[in-house]
Amino acid sequence: MAKNVDLTSKEWRDLVFEGKNQEFGAHQLRKSSDKRHNLAMLYVLIGLAVVAAILFSLNMYNDYRAEIEAAEAKERAEKMSAAQLAQMEEVEEVEEEVEEDVDDEEITLDSLTKDDTLTDEDYEDTKIITKLSSILDEAYAAAKEFNENNDKNGANVLIEGLPGSGKTAIVET
């Protein structure tokens, strides 16, 4: 018999409260317990649905922000690549101009400061090295300025090494 007893049934409630004052206290609570239990279950389900909706919305928003940030990063990288390509083209043009200037320019001892220990060939080499050094210094300064501007703009691409030296690298940071 204990297996088939329904503690919320009207028969069980009448049996327990038989001969007692049924107008007050526990009888009234037991009588309305079905309604309370059903409302409590409904409130729990509604609360779980609200929490699930909030978590789902936050996840969707985070995915949306990640897509936007990825698109912005791609756009910045494309701009940086274009700027670096333009800068590298400028460096190549300067190198070509230097080569043309060095080939076209005739160097004589009169154009240099005389030093008794140097030969004509040494004076020529000194002039060429001085000109190339100044051009490489300009290229290095341009690369340094480019890197500094990239750092300020939050770019993730930098030029490492000395442009024109053959040991220049474009590095993603």
> Does residue 159 have a pLDDT over 70?
no
At position 57, the amino acid (one-letter code) is S
Instruction: List beta partners, residue 169.
Output: 160
d(CA 134, CA 142): 12
3-class SS of residue 150: helix
Whether 135 and 98 have beta carbons less than 8 Å apart is answered as yes
Q: What's the number of CA atoms in the CB half-sphere (13 Å) around residue 105?
A: 15
pTM of the model: 0.39
3-class SS of residue 97: helix
d(CA 101, CA 130): 13
pLDDT tens per residue, range 39-77: 999 999 999 999 999 999 999 999 999 999 999 999 988
Whether 123 and 109 have beta carbons less than 8 Å apart is answered as yes
pLDDT tens per residue, range 73-104: 999 888 888 888 888 888 888 777 766 665 55
Residue 162: predicted pLDDT? 54
Instruction: List beta partners, residue 129.
Output: none
DSSP calls for 121-149: HHHHHHHHHHHHHHHHHHHHHHHHHHHHH
Chain-wide mean pLDDT for the chain?
Answer: 75
How large is the angle between the packed helices 33-104 and 120-152, nearest 10 degrees?
Answer: 160
d(CA 145, CA 169): 16
